[in-house]
Structure formats: structure tokens, C-alpha cells
């Protein structure tokens, strides 16, 4: 079937879509920093995912239709994954970003495929491959260099929270593979995002005043939330799946390494030029991920499908 007949873009168009997905994910960290200047963390996280969940559920309804049998079959799994992988991860990210920098947070999350690989090895009680272990060590050295650990600086408390968020994402990724049955990636993303949105909204209204915060927030904060919800969540997922459908999972998943690079460039655009140590740290961390992947396919990525709802 021709590209035109199948409705898929050309190889070049699919490549651009894959790159744009990684770029959008990378911009989420700077958008989070801006939003947190004017909004409390729980309200910001809830606002992002209430909008994103509404958009992706509408997309699911139009593109595939809602299969209630899928929801009934995976209700418990979706509930757990939504709370842990969407609400848990994003709570850790938004709370952590109060003290962590966008570049450091992006780099920590950029190594999450390795974290997923190691966690799954522990759950299966098998040793990770020497290549995977070496890649993790190299990536951690890159992260340490980025945050300035070798020059006497210390990990901020926010960095630790982002790391915990990375672990929550690892649980989400493994859970999507092992606990969900007979569901498409879009269905799993939509339902877990909806659960996560409800969980974040519940906590947000319990500990903060989201409505008041959003009413008094400046336009730039609202634009940041809208950007993360529509471009950094829904559109990024659409572009990523477009790349997979046309170029294949291996060629697409390698583009995920552009996420911390995107975060670095966006930080520079907003006037926070990275130092040589940060640039070197990002390069070393990406090399560690590639080292662990061996063939160019990221560990912890199945069929190139990164469940984007909880991601970044």
C-alpha cells in the first residue's frame, strides 16, 4: 500500500514527527519551571492533566471509539498505573522542579529507560547485562557532572524527587507491559491519564486552591499549562506513534535521546545558557543510554512505544 493510500507521512515526515515529539517532551521542563513561578505544584500538575485527559479522551472517541470491555478488563491495572505512573510521577516532577533545574530534571528522566531495565531485572531476579550496567554507570556520571557534583555541589532535594518520579515511571512502563491486556497504547494512555488527572485534582483541591490560583495566574503561566497539556502530552504522543507506524520502533525510539538536548536548548533560549560541564554531562549521559542499548533500541522500550501519558 502506498504512503498516500495508507494515510501515513513520508519517511521524512515521520522523521520530523519523531523529532518533534522529543522536542515537545523536552520543552515540558522549562514550561514546568515557568508555571511554578505563579502556580502551586499540585494545582499546576492537575491543570495540565485535566486538560490533557480531556483532549486525549476526545481523540480516543473520534479515532478508535471507546471500548468499554477494555476498561472493564483492565480497570484495576488502569487505576494503579494512573495513580502511580501519571499522578505519582507528575507530582514528584512538579514538586521536584521547585528546586531542581529543567536541564537536570530532563537528564534524570532521560535515563529512565535504563532505570526501567534495571528494575525489571530485579523483579525477574536476573542480572542485567554487563552492557546495561556499564551504560547506567556512565549515565549517572553524566548526571553528576550536569548537577556539578564533581565541583563540590550536591543533589538538590528536588533532584531526589525527580529521581523518585523516574522510578514511578519505570513501574508504569513495566506495568503497562505486564498488567494490561488486549488494549492499544492509545487506550492505555487515555484511561491512565484520566485516572491520574482525577487523582491530581483530588489532592490539588485538598491541599491548595486551584481555581483561585488559576484565576489570578498571569497569561504566561496559563500558556505554559496549555502547552504542556496539548503539545507536551497529547500532540507529542501522536507524533511519536506516527514515527513508529512509518519508520519502525527501533529508528523512532533512538530519537528519545533528544529530550535532554531539547531541554538544554530551551533553557538557553530563555536566557539560562548552560555551562560546558552541563553540555558535557548531557552528552555523557546520552552516550551511556546508547551504550546500554547496544543495537540502538533503548532498554525498557517495548516496540518503541513509550507510554507518554506519565512521561514528561
Question: Is residue 31 domain-resident?
Answer: yes
**Could you give the number of structural domains in the chain?**
1
Average pLDDT of the chain to the nearest whole number:
83
Q: Can you give the pLDDT at residue 47?
A: 97
Is residue 302 domain-resident? no
DSSP state of 101: -
Q: Tell me the range of 4-8, 153-157, 181-185 where mean pLDDT is highest.
A: 181-185
Between residues 230 and 156, which one has the greater pLDDT? 230
pLDDT of residue 155: 63
How is residue 76 written as a grid cell?
A: 484495576
| Domain-located, residue 17 | yes
Give how far Cα 153 sits from Cα of 97, 121, 147, 149, Å.
17, 32, 7, 5
Q: Report pLDDT digits (tens) over 129-138.
A: 787 778 778 8
> With bands split at pLDDT 50, 70 and 90, how would you rate the model's confidence at 223?
very high
Q: Is 306 helix (H, G, I), strand (E, B) or coil?
A: coil
Over residues 29-78, the pLDDT tens digits come to 999 999 999 999 999 999 999 999 999 999 999 988 999 999 999 999 99
Q: What digits encode the pLDDT tens for the residues 108-127? A: 887 777 777 778 778 877 77
User: pLDDT exceeding 70 applies to what percent of the chain?
Assistant: 85
Q: Are the C-beta atoms of residues 231 and 56 closer than 8 Å to each other? A: no
**pLDDT average, residue stretch 294-307:** 48
pLDDT at 1: 45
pLDDT (0 to 100) of residue 138: 83
* Residue 153 contacts residue 95 (beta carbons within 8 Å): no
Domain membership flag for residue 5: no
Please state, in angstroms and as integers, the Cα–Cα distance from residue 275 to each residue in 7, 220, 266, 269, following that order: 44, 27, 14, 14
Q: Is the pLDDT of residue 13 over 90?
A: no
- CA–CA dist 155, 180 (Å, integer): 35
Does residue 202 sit within a domain? yes
Which of the pair, 139 or 227, is modelled with greater confidence?
Answer: 227
- The reply to whether the predicted model has a pTM over 0.75 is yes
Degrees (nearest 5) of the Cα angle 227, 232, 236? 135
The whole-number pLDDT of residue 31 equals 95
Q: Which residues contact 54 (CB under 8 A, 6 or more apart)?
A: none
Q: Please indicate, yes or no, if residue 208 is contained in any of the structural domains.
A: yes
Domain that holds residue 124: 10-293
DSSP codes joined into one string, 142-173: HHHHHHTGGGT----HHHHHHHHHHHHHHHHH
Q: Is the pLDDT of residue 296 over 70?
A: no
Percent of the chain past pLDDT 90, that is, above it, reads 40
Residue 179, domain member (yes or no): yes
In a domain, 305, yes or no: no
Task: State the cell numbers at 217.
Answer: 495566574
Q: What is d(CA 97, CA 108) in angstroms, rounded to the nearest whole number?
A: 12
Mean pLDDT within 228-252? 81
Cell numbers given for 226: 496549555
| DSSP structure string for 178-203 | HT--S--HHHHHHHHHHHHHHHHHHH
**Which pLDDT does position 238 carry in this prediction?**
85
pLDDT digits (tens, 9 = 90+) for 160-206: 899 899 889 888 888 888 899 999 889 999 999 999 999 999 999 99
Amino acid at each position: 500500500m502506498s504512503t498516500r493510500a495508507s494515510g501515513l507521512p513520508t519517511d521524512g515526515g515521520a522523521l520530523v514527527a519523531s523529532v518533534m515529539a522529543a522536542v515537545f517532551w523536552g520543552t515540558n521542563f522549562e514550561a514546568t519551571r515557568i508555571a511554578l513561578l505563579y502556580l502551586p505544584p499540585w494545582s499546576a500538575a492537575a491543570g495540565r492533566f485535566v486538560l490533557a485527559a480531556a483532549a486525549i479522551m476526545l481523540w480516543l472517541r473520534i479515532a478508535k471509539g471507546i471500548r468499554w470491555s477494555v476498561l472493564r478488563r483492565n480497570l484495576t491495572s488502569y487505576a494503579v498505573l494512573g495513580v502511580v505512573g501519571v499522578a505519582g510521577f507528575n507530582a514528584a516532577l512538579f514538586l521536584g522542579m521547585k528546586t531542581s533545574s529543567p536541564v537536570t530534571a530532563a537528564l534524570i528522566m532521560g535515563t529512565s529507560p535504563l532505570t526501567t531495565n534495571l528494575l525489571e531485572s530485579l523483579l525477574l531476579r536476573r542480572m542485567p547485562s554487563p552492557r546495561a550496567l556499564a551504560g547506567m554507570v556512565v549515565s549517572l556520571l553524566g548526571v553528576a557532572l550536569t548537577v556539578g557534583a564533581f565541583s563540590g555541589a550536591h543533589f538538590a532535594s528536588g533532584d531526589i524527587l525527580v529521581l523518585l518520579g523516574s522510578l514511578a515511571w519505570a513501574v508504569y512502563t513495566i506495568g503497562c507491559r505486564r498488567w494490561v491486556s488486549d488494549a492499544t497504547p492509545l487506550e492505555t494512555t487515555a484511561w491512565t491519564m484520566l485516572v491520574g488527572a482525577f487523582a491530581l485534582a483530588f489532592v490539588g483541591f485538598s491541599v491548595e486552591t486551584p481555581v483561585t490560583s488559576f484565576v489570578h495566574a498571569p497569561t504566561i503561566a496559563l500558556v505554559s499549562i496549555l502547552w504542556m497539556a496539548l503539545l507536551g502530552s497529547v500532540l507529542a504522543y501522536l507524533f511519536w506513534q506516527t514515527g513508529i507506524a512509518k519508520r519502525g520502533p527501533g529508528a523512532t525510539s533512538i530519537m528519545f535521546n533528544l529530550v535532554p538536548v531539547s531541554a538544554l536548548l530551551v533553557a538557553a533560549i530563555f536566557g539560562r545558557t548552560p555551562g560546558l560541564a552541563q553540555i558535557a554531562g548531557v552528552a555523557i549521559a546520552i552516550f551511556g543510554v546508547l551504550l546500554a542499548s547496544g543495537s540502538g533500541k533503548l532498554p525498557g522500550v517495548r516496540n518503541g512505544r513509550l507510554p507518554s501519558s506519565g512521561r514528561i
